[in-house]
Structure 1
Amino acid sequence: MSKKSSKLDLLVRVRFENPLPDPPFPSKLIKVKTDISRLGDPAYLDQLASAAPAPLLLDSEMGMPIDLNNFDGVWDGNDASLNPTLDTVKLEPGDAALLAPLRILAKTANGAPVPSSVKPEVSWMRNSSYIQRRETTRRRAAAEAVQEEEADASEAAQITAIEKSFLDLHSQELAEIRHPHPKRKHLRAVESYDVLPDDDTWSSSYILLKFPERPSAATAQNPSAKASRGRLDRALLRPVVEEDQALVDFFLPKEEDLSRVSALEEHPIDSEAAAEAVELSAEGKDDKVDELFPNVTYERIRTYEVVSQMVPEREFLITISEEAIEDENEEEDMFGDDEPKRKKRKGAFYKPISMRSQLRKTLQKTRSDTPWDKVRLGYREPAETEIEEREKMARSVTDSTWVQDQTDEGHDTTLLETNAEIN
């Protein structure tokens, strides 16, 4: 068995030399005087022209037919005989496809497009996430470039589309629902909820606050103080507007007063008693205030500074109701002639968040107002105007005719403005 050697046994290195003597003078550029017109003299081409004679055989018409009578139909406006078709052979439809340009034939095989295995402008050294991001952007741009079909925007078509969405949802089984993410296809739906606006909280405003750390009862005098979950759930935030910044005072109740806070919610006072309690508090008669107005004292823990505020676009407060709940505000029907009590159906109820704020700790600074070290918390019954205002705000989700009423009001306002301009 022969073994091939990887080395060459006969390897001779030969070095060829070509010694040239150094020039007797240093190299430099020499300017030769010459006439530019001499270089453009055509006399240099006389010898070349005589060596390659070009015989010219011209007919009497100098290569251009001028007797148009020899062409049929030329006087009738038919110039087909003057411009004959170069290729008059009739091709079969199958053979005609072979005459397509090469750039088109290279992309097809048997009439079908051939996918390219190599993506243009993509190198194996590039980052895969960068390539994927570019592909996603390119696909999105291509999808936006496609002309969308004209949708029927009539009121009847919109109602039909909405009703069809509910029908499709309720006719679908939970086992058939899959997660839309391609990497989470294994997840299955366990329970489904109807997503509805929360009419109980729709007239209220909710703010999402981001604290620099977990709130507690720690102060400068007692930095190790802790606060239970019950105290944090009952915390109060009082906004303070300064000239150059916005501040928020953070108040907490005492641990032993948590039970009283819950009890005060069930025994609110009327508006007249609340106004009288405010007057007594301004006069400094705290003992009479406590007799007239049941309250709980809150202590100021610290002051935060508002760093940023923004209105979120897609942030909601979700409340999930597992079972149908009766309306607690519905009065009892003693005679049985009223409509049945309204129940809050099972579902996921949402309320858009009005504001999102970020807080940070602030040092003790000189404030334009006197800071409140303590506040009294009590409850009063809402006034009639407040109830009407909340009901008006809640009508946008509880009254099915609210949209039509708003449209009619806007139309009436436009008519009034038009009539005023005419008059």
Structure 2
Amino acid sequence: MSSGGRVYHQDYIARIRYSNALPPPPNPPKLLEIPNTGLASGQYTSAGFASRLAREQPLNVEADAELGMPIDLVGLPGVFEGDDSVLLASDEPVALHPHDRALLRPLSTLGKPSSLAGGVSFLRRTEYMTAAGGGGHSGLRDPGKRLAPKRKKQTDAEKNEPINILRSILKGFDIAYPQDAYKGPDTVQNLRGEEITPEERRAWDAPKHPLNPSLKLVDSYPILPDLDAVTETGGYIVAKFQTNPIANQGPTYDERVDAGLLRVLEPTAEQEEAYRVKVAEHEAEGDRAKGPPPQPDYDYEFFLPASHEAVRGLKRKFSTTDPERDDDALYDAEKTEATGRRCFRFDRVRCYETYQQAGNPHDPYDDTVAVALHDPETDESRLEKAAYYYPIVQRTFIRPKRKAQRGVSGVHQQDEEQENRVDVLEIEVRDPDERELADRQGFREKLEGEGEAEA
């Protein structure tokens, strides 16, 4: 008869030893002959044993008088002229080879394993080791996950390639305008944007402020150029006064400042010489030159309308939507003897000089741009709803010009300023001529061409 007692189950635990086939080290250790004096002598346990051993062993490097690093300054350009920039480290870091990254590990991590999932069997006996050195047996529990292809992550060098930069730019347009996204074959002539991740799509649909997540987006505007506001120079100049140009203005704002004029004076001999020196220094630096080419420093005469009533008429003259903009009654001054027509009168305030400049006329979008929001539903604008940008070719900071010092040069400069001084300006508003329209059309076609190329 079989026993009717309780049956106990006991699992059999079998210890499985895995092979430890490690490759030999790339650099074998150096074997030294050390006399065996035993631990009783205290030779091996002293703190200075390792230091003394390092001093006694000769180096395998031939050390010459220059310690293997010859310093020859003859071949370095600009060193003897006081230019030490060639001796300094470059601002752009050198691309590090992946094999050299291990050399930059801190001393505290030396001798410690960087990861426990390196495919070494003796680190974890209860873990199955895969051929790819994966983390444990999680792939056995989910076979579908093991078979899924992994997306290769781009390195920094691959991201900086021109074709990948173009794909990243196209991805931004595809996110903003998904209906216009290119879905055809990916060729050199017709590139496709990078794959849009769900996180990027959610960030576009529900944007969040990086510093204040509680803020909510109220409205958005597409960024467009204002083609109707293109000037003959391709951009605008911003002048900033160091002090208030109107003395004793009082608490109320003087709207005449909105219609003020700056008359450019002819440069003096000293200004022309200083400009030539700056240009020569910039050309001598060549590729090492930082910033755009220098611009000449001008002096200006500042003028204001003679009356406050003239400001309203002047603004109506420049308004393209005012039906009475061609009416001569908008002028504040009577007919002049020179032209026999009415005009606006501007009185001279004082002379100003340039003390700082910024900008690049060759690249008006390199320094600063002005942005204006237009919404036809709120301001009855002639433009469609968008944020229009206007290039700033130059930012000029001016201050009241000091009187010339006494002396031969000072008297000559003061006489020259008195000769070029203008006390009153008579301004008449007219439409642009053919040459000015041609210059504007050239810059406008350039903007339209850039827009078509981006599209």
Q: Aligning the two structures, in what range does the TM-score lie when normalised by the shorter sequence?
A: 0.3 to 0.5
Higher relative contact order (CA 8 A, sep 6+): 1
Which is higher, the Rg of structure 1 or of structure 2?
1
Please, what TM-score do these two structures have when normalized by structure 2? 0.45
Please, what TM-score do these two structures have when normalized by structure 1? 0.48
